[in-house]
Amino acid sequence: MSLLGGLRNCLAFLTIIPVGMDNDGVLQAAKYMPLFPVIGAAIGFLAGALVWALDPILPSLVVGMLGLGFILLITGVHHTDGLLDFGDGVMFHGSPEEKLRVMRDPQTGAGGLSIGLVVLLGTAFSIAELSPIIVVQSLTASETAAKFSMVFQAWAGKSAHEGLNTPFIDAMHGKRGHIRLATAFILFIAVLTTALQITVALSVIFSVLITAAATLLIAHRHFGGITGDVLGATNDLSRLVSLLAVLVMINWA
């Protein structure tokens, strides 16, 4: 599999863009997981361009909601579904096995609904607060950060059970795991330092690493490891935290 083929499978896995996925596309996406930040940068850039174009003609809150809606649409709400399941699992009182069972339940409970509302509304409002001057750069950086957080977590965590998460965790472990993490981190740093001022970029990097690590600890405590839902939740949480970091640094400056 060529680098271009790996990038195509990552794009097909992370978005609804009809580029076609190979029969072993999930395994190839796992192998090329270090390219996730590149896909994130492309998604964020497109979302930022949309927000920038709509800003002069619509109220900021509406633009923020539409910007988030575009991200959810192009990603197929794949990660947000994980966020809702993660919320249900964490809030359920029981053993790790029972919590995993709750996460697999197709019905969304109060825990998932609550965390979903907070994260999604917080993200939309954060987008609405971004100046048109920096909105493209900020969304490019935040979506890159969100995708890197999943790479970091797959490298640092262990699988709670066999599932969609397993190929990615397996790919990020072993003798090539450190190389893949380093590759993803270099891409992550390159995008952020290009898009944002260095102090803002460092703030985003630090906050996203803390978010991914904290979510990992919560997952290990509640589920005995990470699942695909945990990775999805980390993606959405990291997007919000990175946008908040940008806003904090801008207001502080």
pLDDT recorded at residue 111? 84
Rounded to two decimals, the pTM is 0.93
CA distance 115 to 135: 25
Mean pLDDT within 219-230: 92
Query: DSSP 3-state assignment of 125?
Result: helix
Question: Which CA distances in Å does 170 have to 30, 148, 174, 181?
Answer: 8, 17, 7, 13
pLDDT tens digits along 165-191:
889 999 999 888 899 999 999 999 999
C-alpha atoms less than 13 angstroms from C-alpha of 66 in its C-beta half-sphere? 16
DSSP calls for 7-24? HHHHHHHHS---S---TT
Instruction: Indicate whether 1 pLDDT > 60.
Output: no
- DSSP 3-state of 26: helix
- Which residue from 109, 89, 91 is spatially nearest to 101, judged by alpha carbons? 89
Percent of the chain with pLDDT over 70: 99
Handedness of CA 53, 79, 152, 124 (dihedral sign): positive
Distance between CA atoms of residues 197 and 219, nearest Å: 33
